Structures are given as structure tokens and as C-alpha cells.
Structure 1
Amino acid sequence: MAIFGLWVINKAGGLVYQRNIGDGLPGLTSNEYLVLAGTLHGIHAITSRLSPTGSSSGAHTIEGEAFKMTILLTATGTKFVLLTSVVEPTADSVLQKVYEIYSDAVMKNPFHTPEMPIRSEAFDSRITALIG
């Protein structure tokens, strides 16, 4: 799999989890990641209003020349974003598994405050086992 990164963005557009996988992404500061997450949140909100048929949940995939962003929007408004190579065929299924891990390791944790940064060793270790 050519997966470069994983982001979890809360419903307000704040980056609550960010993980680089491998050497595919340039080294950005934490501030730059926060700006990128907020920008993506805005783009996603705009694309949800652009549908000519009326209702849309926004962009699901954004492709560049050398990368693809696959976005999973949950019922609570949390967005899971997987940054991969353009030809990665399993991005949707990986995001579904990440969401399941999030549900089990983070949302069932009585010490986690919703919409706040994810600080869970169980989540990190299960993401490592899934993605690397």
C-alpha cells in the first residue's frame, strides 16, 4: 500500500489526529497541518453545496498529480482523511477500518473528550498494525 498520511478532523474543522506514514509527505509544522485541515474542512463544506441534484455529503476524493485524498464523513461530522498515491485501490476500505478502530479505541474510552485531540496508545497501536 502507498499510504502517506492519516488525518482526523473534528466537526468544527480542527485537526484532532495526524500521522505521517513513510516518507511520502514533506515535513510540515503542526501549524501548517492545522491550516491544511481547516482548509480541507472549508472545501468539503463548499462541495456539499455544489451538487446540482440538491443534496450531497461533499467531496469524497481529491486528486493531485502525485497524491489522492480520500475522505470519509461520519454521521457525527468527523472526517477521516487518507493521503495515498493516485493508484491506491484500497483507500475506502482502509478508511472504514480506521473508523472502526476509532469507534472501539477512542469513542469507548471514558477519558476521551469528544472533539478534542486523540491521545490514545490503543488507537495508535491499532493504526500502526493496520497501516504501518
Structure 2
Amino acid sequence: MAIYGLWVINKAGGLVYQRNFADGLAPLTSNEYLVLAGTLHGIHAITSRLSPVGSSSGVQVIEGETFKMNILLTVTGTKFVLLTSLAETTADTVLQKVYDIYSDAVMKNPFHTPEMPIRSEGFDTRVGTLIGTGQT
């Protein structure tokens, strides 16, 4: 079981935070990460409209041959994306904890501008501790 990376995508589809935690992901440039985030944002918007019955919040899991992407959509439209191994079973719990850290360390920071890149050492440290030590 492994967590490979975390992305935070703002409500406009811009990548505001990206961090890799384990080997296994192809090395990408910052522009490639931005394009992937925008593409995922579009896919998420399309899938939220496809529900044949009632409303949908969009895709929550995308599974490939060697990895999974779990997506947590917040009420403000921010998306938290966790890239994991197929065997990872704690992704939903980890995403909720990351969102809690984001709410506490980023959104309570009077110097942070919403929808802009996250430049919070406290957020980065706490996320690293959460994911780096087995999701405590």
C-alpha cells in the first residue's frame, strides 16, 4: 500500500498544491501537472452531469492498471486528489484528514488568498507527517 501524491485543485480547475510522497509516479514538469489538473477538473464537471437519476457530485475514484485517484470535492468546489496504489484502503480517510488540515492551516491564515497557490509551511509539514508516517 502506498500514497504516491496529493493535488489540491481550486474551483476554477487550477492546481494550487502538488506534492509527491513515494516513488512510482512518472516525473512530470510543472506545466504537465497544471494540464492534468485542468483535465481532471473538466472530467469531474462532465461526470457530475451524467447521473441518470438525481444529482451527482461527479467522479470520486478513477482506477488505472497500477494506481487509483481518489477525489474529495468540498462544498466550496475545491478538489483534493490522492494518487495511491490499488491496494490502498485508507484514501477516503486520508483525504478527509488532509481537508481538515487545509481548513485549519490554510483557510484560517489571514495572509492566504483563496483560490491561489498554497504556500503554507504548516500545511506542508502536517500533510507530510500525516502521509509520511502511515496516515496517523
With normalisation by structure 1, the TM-score equals 0.99
Gaps of 5+ in 2: none
Q: Does 1:52 align with 2:65?
A: no
Could you tell me which residue of structure 1 aligns to residue 125 of structure 2?
Answer: 125
- Mapped to 2, the partners of 1:53 and 1:101 lie a distance apart of 34
Could you tell me which residue of structure 1 aligns to residue 73 of structure 2?
Answer: 73
The CA deviation string for residues 22-80 of structure 1, in whole angstroms up to 9 with x for no partner, is 11211100000000000000000000000000300000000000000000000000000
Q: Does 1:30 align with 2:23?
A: no
Alignment length, in residue pairs? 132
Could you tell me which residue of structure 1 aligns to residue 89 of structure 2?
Answer: 89
Q: Give the letter aligned to residue 94 of structure 2.
A: V
- Mapped to 1, the partners of 2:89 and 2:81 lie a distance apart of 15
- Mapped to 2, the partners of 1:101 and 1:24 lie a distance apart of 25
Q: Give the letter aligned to residue 50 of structure 1.
A: L
Equivalent residue of 1:38, what SS?
Answer: helix
Equivalent residue of 1:33, what SS?
Answer: helix
- Mapped to 2, the partners of 1:113 and 1:24 lie a distance apart of 32
Could you tell me which residue of structure 1 aligns to residue 105 of structure 2?
Answer: 105
The farther-off stretch of 114-123 and 21-30 is: 21-30
- Mapped to 1, the partners of 2:79 and 2:124 lie a distance apart of 17
Equivalent residue of 1:66, what SS?
Answer: coil
- Mapped to 2, the partners of 1:109 and 1:90 lie a distance apart of 28
Could you tell me which residue of structure 1 aligns to residue 62 of structure 2?
Answer: 62
Gaps of 5+ in 1: none
Could you tell me which residue of structure 2 aligns to residue 14 of structure 1?
Answer: 14
- Matched residues, percent identical? 83
Q: CA deviation at 1:92?
A: 0.1
Q: Give the letter aligned to residue 57 of structure 2.
A: S
**Pairwise CA RMSD:** 0.6
Equivalent residue of 1:80, what SS?
Answer: strand
Equivalent residue of 1:71, what SS?
Answer: strand
